[in-house]
């Protein structure tokens, strides 16, 4: 039942964040803000070798240091079951199972004390003796174990080798991208508290339901005896998609001490404890006809991974679906190294793969002496290439057109080194983006109370991107209520099941569940008045009824209706509640559900003598279907674009070649863009509501980072004539 309709506008009202006042006032409780009476504080000790074994841990001095309550090492850690399998693979390796060290910075002890300062001071007193072995490091290291066909993601259609052999123009280049670290501003924290056998955990997670499942499994509890809270999190960018060992240790410490325990990672520990974007190497071979028709694409990607870990890094996944090309093969490889395990970082895989493919197409366009947009349009995938099914929506052509207009692409002199301003060479570059669709089951519950307010909830998360706001806004719209009459709660595993904030899927899943719950709730109100002689809506079909201004009324005649409060009052009900649940399946839909599409246009300035590169402006045209809130959506894209500039110009997690120690694990050494690096960013939304999604939306959480790097590198080529296939593009690469 779905009697309610959503606003037909493409762009939802740019309302301010509903949680803005809390955040501005410093009143939003992030996990690191949580405190309980009697709470103890933990500090982590990390290994100072890259591989080997612990011979001995001398924790005597730490144990006798002021305020210290316990020191946990592998020696006094009880056997714990492994965490569960998730869609991102088996749970991360738990480092306290034995005395083996598999990467520099592996946790080797947790010191718990009365105060955080005492814990940190005592942690320095823990002395570990190691028997080191030579760590396996370096993505091209021939001694490193190499996994082929990672996650079974290799794919082939057509005859790639044959088409490459016969193509008039062929292309074969290698791309490298440095590892990066997510670095959400909010330091990841865990606060664990046992209450009579029940476990309450405040955790920096993007997925409370997964966190609950992990804790229930590891500590052998029923899921209803575990409750995970994360009403606010200071960003995540994928770092909160897996359940980290330090959180398990904190729960264990709380159990051992029978009192609440808190740990907050330090910034350096953020580099080794919760994942990073892996290093990648990609080889791209393309065959093309003189007229620009793509004949073959062979895309081979290699990414790094922890020596005993798993990580889903689908670098080549969008490649077969991005262009109309009969012969496409993809190869996913993973190199096992003694490094902290990588993990998802905004647009995992896709972001790196796009850099290679969209740089390569620019190079091909130059070889063919054709316009880069024309080349892309010539190979436009009108239908999904793999299946031949129509897309649920696709406005990539409009992205190219509108983006080019706003940018002034037509004014560009395509000759390299043709534009200059004093010592600065100027270049224009562009890239296209095809982002994969992803969605997961989601539930939501909505109640309307006698005072005319609505309470909606789901165990979702808001990474700071606007889940609270769009869910409140959508619920208000669906139920015909003013915004201030609606409250939405999330970040609590006791609420109805929600998927992770990940894969750009949450807004789609959650909006579908809210849409259905709202429909069911209106149905429940109509059921309540089905035989109610006092109701003007008695016996009405849901199809005839809609809601606005706090009233249910006939679609055709708004004067015939009554308020929610009237109905509840008359029936002596405090509230009515309904659930919604979605489990979207692409199979049998007769169409291919589409993710977002985008075109990026960038102007760069390069001081060639000094190797200095600055981004002068970025224009982004995005098809993400209907936009629930133009302000939060735009902010998502702006933030992701800044992150893309960081990836392109600055960010690289550097591992010491001998040990795998992260050599730049501070914000003084790991550079992210500052305001001065961020130029005018123009974002425009194009397209139409998506046909597959119940409310017409597509995900927008990640697409904003994709394509930035290729557009910048292509602009650098236009400016200088130099093709940089290695990120970040630092000064030494341009000298």
Partner 1 sequence: MTLFEYVRPDDVTGAVDLVSADPGAAYLAGGTTQLDLLLKDGVIRSNRLVDIGRLPLRGITRDGDTLRVGALTTMDALAAEPVVAQRVPFVREALLAGASPQLRNMATIGGNLLQRTRCRYFRDSAVAACNKRVPGSGCAAVTGVARMHAILGASERCIALHASDLCVPLVALDVRVHLRGTDGERSVPLTEFYLPAGESPEIETVLRHGELITRVELPLLAPGTRSGYLKVRDRASYEFALTSAAAALVVDDGVITYARLALGGVGTVPWRARAAEAVLTGAPANVETFRAAAEAEIRDPFTVPGTEFKVELAKRTIVRVLRTVAGARP
Cα-Cα-Cα-Cα torsion 667, 671, 673, 675, nearest 10 degrees, comes to 50
Min dist. Cβ of residue 603 to partner 1 (A): 15
**What are the tokens at 318?**
């969008």
Strand pairing of 127-132 and 146-147?
A: unpaired
| Smaller CB separation from partner 1, 133 or 266 | 266
Nearer to partner 1, 117 or 149 (CB): 117
The set of residues, in sequence order, having a beta carbon less than 8 Å from that of 458 and lying 6+ positions away, is 442, 443, 444, 445, 471, 490, 495, 496, 497, 498, 510, 513, 514
Strand order in the sheet with 261-264: 68-72, 107-113, 40-46, 261-264, 189-195, 198-203, 226-229
Q: Looking at 10, 116, 169, 663, which residue binds partner 1 (CB under 8 A)? A: 663
Q: Which residues pair with 146 in a beta bridge?
A: 335
Contacting partner 1 within 633-662 (CB under 8 A): 649-650, 654-658, 661
* Shortest Å, Cβ 66 to partner 1: 6
Q: Find the binder of partner 1 among 62, 72, 121, 582 (CB under 8 A).
A: 121
Query: Which of residues 561 and 646 has its CB atom nearest to partner 1 in the complex?
Result: 646
Q: Which of residues 274-303 bind partner 1 (CB under 8 A)?
A: none
The residue (of 78 and 422) whose beta carbon lies closer to partner 1 is: 422
> Residue 240 or 673: which CB sits closer to partner 1?
673
The window from 117-125, 322-330, 566-574, 594-602 that contacts partner 1 (CB under 8 A) reads: 117-125
Smaller CB separation from partner 1, 122 or 153: 122
CA distance 175 to 379: 23
Query: Between residues 11 and 612, which has the closer beta carbon with respect to partner 1?
Result: 612
Residue 560 and residue 707: Cα distance in Å, rounded?
52
Contacting residues for 543 by C-beta, under 8 A, at least 6 apart: 3
Question: In whole angstroms, what is the distance from residue 403 CA to residue 401 CA?
Answer: 6
Q: Which is nearer to partner 1, 449 or 614 (CB)?
A: 614
Helix (H, G, I), strand (E, B) or coil at 426: strand
Please work out the total of residues on this chain that contact partner 1, with binding judged by CB under 8 A. 39
Nearest-angstrom CA–CA distance, 19 and 4: 26
Given the complex with partner 1, which of 168 and 656 has the nearer CB atom? 656
Pairing between β-strand 561-563 and β-strand 261-264 as defined by DSSP bridges: unpaired
Q: In the stretch 463-502, what mask flags binding to partner 1 with x, by CB under 8 A?
A: ----------------------------------------
For 380, the 3-state DSSP assignment is: coil
Q: Which residue in the set 97, 124, 420, 538 belongs to the binding site for partner 1 (CB under 8 A)?
A: 124
Please select the residue that binds partner 1; options are 24, 27, 165, 731, rule is CB under 8 A.
731
DSSP string over 434-451:
E-------EEEEEEEETT
Residue 367 touches partner 1, criterion: CB under 8 A:
no
Q: Closest separation between CB of residue 664 and partner 1, Å?
A: 6
Q: Count how many Cα atoms sit within 13 Å of the Cα of residue 570 in the half-sphere of its side chain.
A: 15
Tell me how far, at minimum, the Cβ of 584 lies from partner 1, in Å: 42
Task: Find the binder of partner 1 among 5, 176, 664, 726 (CB under 8 A).
Answer: 664
- Closer by beta carbon to partner 1, 179 or else 699: 179
Angle at which helices 245-257 and 208-218 cross, to 10°: 50
From the list 203, 603, 608, 702, the catalytic residue is 702
Q: Residue 105 Cβ, how far from partner 1 at the closest point, in Å?
A: 9
State which H helix or E strand residue 638 sits in: helix 630-649
In the chain the first and final C-alpha atoms are separated, in Å, by 64
Q: Which region among 346-354, 553-561, 574-582, 671-679 touches partner 1 (by CB under 8 A)?
A: 671-679
The secondary structure of residue 611, as a DSSP letter, is: T
The CA-atom distances, in angstroms, between 493 and each of 177, 192, 506, 628, 735 are 37, 14, 15, 25, 53
Binding range to partner 1, per CB under 8 A, among 11-19, 379-387, 537-545, 724-732: 724-732
Q: How far is CA 676 from CA 615, 619, 645, 648, in A?
A: 10, 18, 12, 15
Residues 19-48 that bind partner 1 (CB under 8 A): 48
Select from 611, 616, 630, 688 the one that contacts partner 1 (CB under 8 A): 611
Q: Name 634's Cβ contacts closer than 8 Å, sequence gap at least 6.
A: 14, 683
Scanning 113-121, 366-374, 446-454, 528-536 for contacts with partner 1 by CB under 8 A, the matching segment is 113-121
Is residue 184 within 8 Å of 27, Cβ to Cβ?
no
Kindly state whether residue 602 participates in binding partner 1, applying the rule CB under 8 A.
no
In the complex, what is the shortest distance from the CB of residue 610 to partner 1, in angstroms, rounded to a whole number?
5
Handedness of CA 701, 180, 621, 382 (dihedral sign): negative
The answer to whether residue 608 is catalytic is no
Site stretch for partner 1 (CB under 8 A), options 19-27, 474-482, 665-673, 706-714: 665-673
Q: CB 306 → partner 1: shortest distance, Å? A: 20
Return the number of the residue (65 or 288) whose C-beta is nearest partner 1: 65
CB of 256 to partner 1, least distance (A): 23
The answer for residues whose C-beta is within 8 angstroms of residue 178's C-beta and 6 or more apart is 279, 651, 652, 653, 654, 727, 728
| Closest to 408 in 3D by CA, of 682, 713, 708 | 682
Stretch that binds partner 1, among 33-41, 118-126, 312-320, 436-444 (CB under 8 A): 118-126
* Residue 609: CB minimum distance to partner 1, A: 5
191 three-class SS:
strand
Per CB under 8 A, 735 contacts partner 1: yes
Q: How far is the CB of 24 from partner 1 (least distance, A)?
A: 19
- The residue (of 46 and 393) whose beta carbon lies closer to partner 1 is 46
Report the nearest approach of partner 1 to the CB of residue 277 (Å): 18
Which residue in the set 423, 527, 543, 574 belongs to the binding site for partner 1 (CB under 8 A)?
423
Closest C-alpha among 95, 79, 91, 310 to residue 213: 91
Assess contact for 626 and 686: CB atoms under 8 A. Answer: no
C-alpha distances (whole Å) from 129 to each of 47, 49, 456, 697 are 10, 10, 54, 55
276 or 661: CB nearest partner 1:
661
70, 118, 393, 535: which one binds partner 1 (CB under 8 A): 118
Q: Which residues, 44 to 83, sit near partner 1 by CB under 8 A?
A: 48, 65-67
Q: Which of 427, 36, 43 is nearest to 229 (CA)?
A: 36
Report the nearest approach of partner 1 to the CB of residue 179 (Å).
12
**For residues 278 and 653, what is the distance between their CA atoms, to the nearest angstrom?**
9
For residue 669, the minimal CB distance to partner 1 (Å) is: 6
Q: Which stretch binds partner 1 (CB under 8 A): 115-123, 180-188, 371-379, 468-476?
A: 115-123
What is the binding site for partner 1 (CB under 8 A)? 48, 65-67, 117-118, 121, 124, 423, 609-614, 649-650, 654-658, 661, 663-664, 666, 668-669, 671, 673-677, 728, 730-732, 735
- Which amino acids are annotated catalytic? 702
């Amino acid at each position: 039942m779905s009697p309610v309709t959503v606003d037909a506008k493409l762009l939802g009202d740019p309302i301010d964040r509903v949680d803005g006042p809390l955040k501005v006032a410093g009143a939003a409780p992030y996990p690191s803000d949580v405190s309980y009476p009697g709470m103890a504080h933990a500090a982590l000790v990390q290994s100072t070798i890259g591989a080997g074994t612990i011979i001995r841990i001398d924790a005597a001095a730490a144990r006798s240091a002021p305020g210290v309550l316990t020191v946990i090492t592998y020696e006094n850690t009880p056997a714990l079951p492994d965490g569960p399998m998730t869609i991102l693979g088996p749970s991360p390796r738990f480092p306290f199972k034995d005395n083996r060290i598999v990467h520099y910075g592996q946790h080797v002890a947790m010191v718990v004390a009365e105060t955080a300062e005492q814990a940190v001071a005592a942690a320095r007193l823990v002395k570990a003796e190691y028997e080191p072995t030579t760590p396996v490091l370096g993505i091209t290291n021939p001694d490193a174990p190499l996994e082929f066909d990672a996650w079974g993601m290799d794919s082939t259609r057509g005859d790639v080798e044959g088409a490459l052999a016969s193509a008039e123009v062929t292309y074969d280049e290698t791309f490298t991208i440095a590892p990066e670290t997510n670095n959400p501003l909010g330091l990841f924290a865990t606060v664990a508290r046992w209450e009579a056998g029940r476990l309450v955990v405040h955790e920096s997670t993007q997925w409370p339901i997964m966190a609950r499942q992990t804790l229930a499994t590891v500590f052998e509890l029923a899921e209803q005896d575990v409750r995970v809270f994360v009403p606010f999190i200071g960003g995540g960018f994928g770092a909160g998609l897996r359940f980290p060992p330090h959180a398990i240790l904190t729960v264990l410490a709380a159990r051992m001490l029978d009192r609440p325990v808190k740990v907050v990672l330090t910034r350096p520990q953020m580099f080794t404890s919760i994942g990073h974007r892996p290093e990648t190497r990609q080889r791209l071979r393309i065959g093309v006809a003189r007229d620009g028709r793509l004949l073959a694409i062979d895309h081979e990607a290699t990414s790094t991974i922890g020596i005993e870990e798993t990580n889903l890094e689908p670098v080549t996944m969008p490649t077969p679906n991005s262009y109309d090309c009969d012969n496409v093969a993809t190869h996913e490889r993973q190199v096992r190294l003694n490094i902290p395990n990588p993990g998802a970082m905004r647009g995992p895989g896709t972001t790196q793969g796009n850099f290679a493919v969209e740089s390569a197409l620019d190079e091909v366009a130059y070889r063919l002496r054709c316009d880069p947009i024309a080349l892309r349009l010539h190979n436009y995938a009108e239908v999904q290439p793999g299946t031949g099914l129509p897309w649920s929506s696709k406005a990539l052509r409009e992205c190219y057109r509108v983006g080019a207009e706003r940018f002034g692409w037509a004014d560009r002199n395509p000759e390299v080194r043709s534009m200059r301003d004093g010592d600065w060479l100027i270049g224009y570059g562009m890239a296209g983006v095809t982002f994969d669709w992803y969605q997961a089951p989601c539930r939501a519950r909505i109640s309307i109370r006698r005072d005319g307010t609505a309470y909606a909830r789901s165990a979702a998360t808001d990474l700071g991107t606007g889940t609270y706001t769009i869910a409140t806004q959508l619920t208000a719209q669906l139920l015909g209520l003013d915004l201030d009459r609606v409250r939405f709660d999330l970040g609590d595993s006791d609420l109805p099941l929600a998927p992770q904030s990940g894969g750009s899927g949450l807004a789609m899943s959650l909006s579908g569940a809210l849409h259905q719950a709202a429909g069911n709730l209106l149905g429940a109100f109509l059921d309540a008045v089905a035989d109610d002689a006092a109701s003007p809506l008695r016996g009405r079909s849901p199809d005839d009824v809609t809601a606005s201004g706090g009233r249910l009324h006939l679609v055709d005649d708004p004067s015939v209706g009554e308020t929610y409060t009237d109905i509840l009052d008359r029936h002596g009900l405090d509230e009515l509640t309904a659930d919604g649940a979605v489990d979207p399946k692409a199979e049998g839909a007769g169409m291919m559900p589409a993710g977002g599409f985008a075109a990026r246009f960038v102007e760069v300035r390069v001081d060639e003598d000094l190797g200095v590169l600055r981004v002068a402006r970025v224009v982004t045209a995005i098809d993400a279907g209907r936009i629930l809130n133009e302000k939060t959506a735009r902010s998502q894209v702006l933030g992701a674009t800044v992150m893309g500039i960081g990836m392109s110009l600055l960010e690289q997690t550097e591992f010491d070649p001998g040990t795998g120690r992260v050599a730049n694990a501070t914000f003084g050494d790991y550079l992210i863009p500052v305001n001065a690096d961020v130029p005018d960013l123009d974002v425009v939304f194009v397209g139409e509501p998506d046909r597959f999604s119940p409310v017409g939306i597509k995900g927008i959480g990640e697409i904003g980072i994709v394509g930035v790097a290729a557009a910048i590198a292509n602009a650098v080529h236009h400016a200088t004539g130099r093709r940089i296939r290695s990120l970040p593009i630092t000064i030494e690469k341009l000298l």
